[in-house]
Amino acid sequence: MKLISWNIDSINAAVEHKSPRGEMTWGVLKEIAEKKPYVVAIQETKLKVDGLTKKQKAALEELFPGCHIYTNSSSARKSYAGTMLITKEEPINVETPEIGAPGEMDQEGRIVTAEFQDFFVSTVYTPNAGGELARLDDRQLWDDAYRKYINGLNEKKPVIFSGDFNVAHEEIDLKHPGQNHHSAGFTDEERSQFTHLLDAGYTDTLRAKYPDQPEIYSWWAQRSKTSKINNSGWRIDYYLVSNRIADKVQEIQVVDTGARQDHAPLELDIEM
């Protein structure tokens, strides 16, 4: 069973593909569709509060014929954040939960969860701690609430969950750990919270498969023209699974997106 997860940074930019970057994004989305995954999880959809437009829906249905599409859009800020699941099989149930997060985080469309017969598939777009770490305190409260939410699912069935977690867990997970120790996404607080999540009963599939392999990144800053060329990246996107199904993971990899900077998709193969 193949699952793919990607922070796409705007569904509309992909569907319209009027700019060189939009063309690259659309090309990656087409490559994902060609793999015929069981589930595609997408973060940072930036959809309107009422979800997909007719044009966007038609474009996705053409790429993923016969699939089921579920969205969670931000009602707090226009065309902001947002998540989506595209599933080959119709789930038993789908929820877009509020987890008791601080501020407006619960209204930012950050989680979609689908229940299948033997497992849950969930995707998350974790809030960024922000410039000057202005949102770090709220981010830690989010992490606590999210861990409690996932634990609730895990008590019922194993969970396969993915997304942009906005944290590089260990020094091996970014190119320049020394100079980013106090940067959003690599603070002691965020890294510790991710450790707490794993310790609650979950496996970081990529690091389990490749424990000591450096320079595996999923994000390269757009503001630096050479970040992708120099592979000066961060690994902030993950596929996590309940420990009791970790042995079912066959492969996990970062999908090559060529010259396109920002996030790259993750592709998970798991026997379920």
Q: How far is CA 242 from the centre of its chain?
A: 17
Catalytic residue among 70, 125, 149, 238: 125
48 vs 55: CA distance, rounded Å = 13
Mean pLDDT, the chain, rounded, equals: 97
Beta bridge partners of 268: 3, 252
Annotation marks residue 125 as catalytic: yes
Q: Is the four-CA dihedral 264, 88, 249, 205 of positive or negative sign?
A: positive
Closest CA to 163 of 8, 1, 272: 8
Average pLDDT over residues 165-189: 97
- pTM of the predicted protein model: 0.97
95 vs 123: CA distance, rounded Å = 11
CATH number of the domain to which 127 belongs: 3.60.10.10
143 vs 165: CA distance, rounded Å = 10
CA distances (Å), origin 226, targets 215, 217, 263: 15, 15, 15
Average pLDDT over residues 152-161: 98
- Measured torsion, CA atoms of residues 47, 95, 262, 135, in degrees rounded to the nearest 10: 90
pLDDT of res. 158: 98
pLDDT of res. 193: 98
Catalytic residue among 106, 143, 164, 173: 164
Which residues, 6+ apart, have CB-to-CB distance to 134 below 8 Å?
none
Q: Give the confidence band of 204 by pLDDT, cuts at 50, 70, 90.
A: very high
Which residues, 6+ apart, have CB-to-CB distance to 191 below 8 Å?
167, 168, 169, 170
234 vs 175: CA distance, rounded Å = 7
Q: pLDDT tens-digit profile of 22-59?
A: 999 999 999 999 999 999 999 999 999 999 999 999 99
205 vs 226: CA distance, rounded Å = 28
The one-letter amino acid at 85: L
Domain that holds residue 66: 2-270
pLDDT of res. 215: 97
**120, 132 Cβ separation under 8 angstroms:** no
Beta bridge partners of 202: 242
* Number of domains present in the structure of the chain: 1
Percent of the chain, pLDDT > 70? Answer: 100
pLDDT of res. 18: 93
DSSP tag of 178: G
214 vs 184: CA distance, rounded Å = 21
pLDDT of res. 72: 98
Average pLDDT over residues 101-127: 98
Q: pLDDT tens-digit profile of 76-104?
A: 999 999 999 999 999 999 999 999 999 99
